[in-house]
Amino acid sequence: MVASGAAAFSFNVTPGTVVGLDVGTGAPELVEYTFAGAITETLALTGLPTTGVGVGILGNRIFVSDVGGNVGEVNLTTGAVFGLFGSNSNEAMGDNGTNLMTMNYFSPGPAERYNTGGGFLGSSNTIGGNTGLDADANSIWVGNYDTGSALRFNYGGAQIGGFTGLPLSSISGLGWDATANAVWLSFGFGDETIRAFDPVGNLLTTFNSQRTWINGLDVVPVPEPVSVITLGVAALALARRRRR
């Protein structure tokens, strides 16, 4: 139900969900999952020039990218991708909580930062062979298709963590939940699962994606308790002002 005066969207950015970009059949589609794997909503997309490879979520805004390096924002009512700009990306996309990030598959695996208008902000090298990307203010997580690894780098390009030895090498997307310290990975090319691991590689959960090719992944974390309290106080203050 949409509250009076609120915008009605066909697709909502819901805390406590994982959002995948399905490119397996027909039009690309956003697919939202609960952390337990239930699909709660979908949205068919139009306007991506080539095959979609990544998704990044900033607040209530969703952005997607394709193999041609095109990045655009999704109209959450119509599914139209608009405001396209070019990047060096050809394989993955994410965000660091403030800006968008795109990934080039080829060595040295540059993770490039852009503002939402397409302005280039900088680049950090990781390694080649990555097909998943997400970040926070201090570190960059990549999913490496060639080795089946999830690796963590700082913005200076040094590896500072991660894990190897995943049961599959066919990583197709990565989302980092810094609030819960969980790395979410989508696997494709015959497996079609989505799995969450802790930062050292212990499996937390796994479920079938119910799609043939989730080629991009991002997480909408549950707000930290302090954030929830802050939001509640702000809402209470606003209600008091309105009553006055």
Model confidence over 185-223: pLDDT tens digits?
Answer: 999 877 899 999 999 999 999 999 999 999 999 999 998
CA angle 42, 48, 51 (to 5 degrees): 85
At 11-21, the pLDDT tens digits run: 999 999 999 99
Q: Distance of CA 52 to CAs 20, 93, 161, 162, 201, Å?
A: 11, 10, 28, 26, 27
Q: Is the pLDDT of residue 8 over 90?
A: no
Distance of CA 83 to the CA centre of its chain: 19
Instruction: Enumerate the domain spans of the chain.
Output: 17-243
Enter the tokens of residue 177.
């939940």
Q: Is 219 exposed, middle or buried (0-12, 13-18, 19+ CB in 10 A)?
A: buried
Q: Is the pLDDT of residue 240 over 90?
A: no
Find tokens 């989505």 and name the residue: 194
**What is the value of pTM for the model shown?**
0.89
Share of the chain above pLDDT 70, in %: 89
At 83-131, the pLDDT tens digits run: 999 999 999 999 999 999 999 999 999 999 999 999 999 999 999 999 9
CB 113 within 8 A of CB 103: no
Q: Is the pLDDT of residue 184 over 70?
A: yes
Mean pLDDT of 27-31: 96
Q: Domain spanning 17-243 has what CATH number? A: 2.120.10.30
- DSSP track, 190-232: T--EEEEE-TTS-EEEEEE-SSS-EEEEEEEPPPPHHHHHHHH
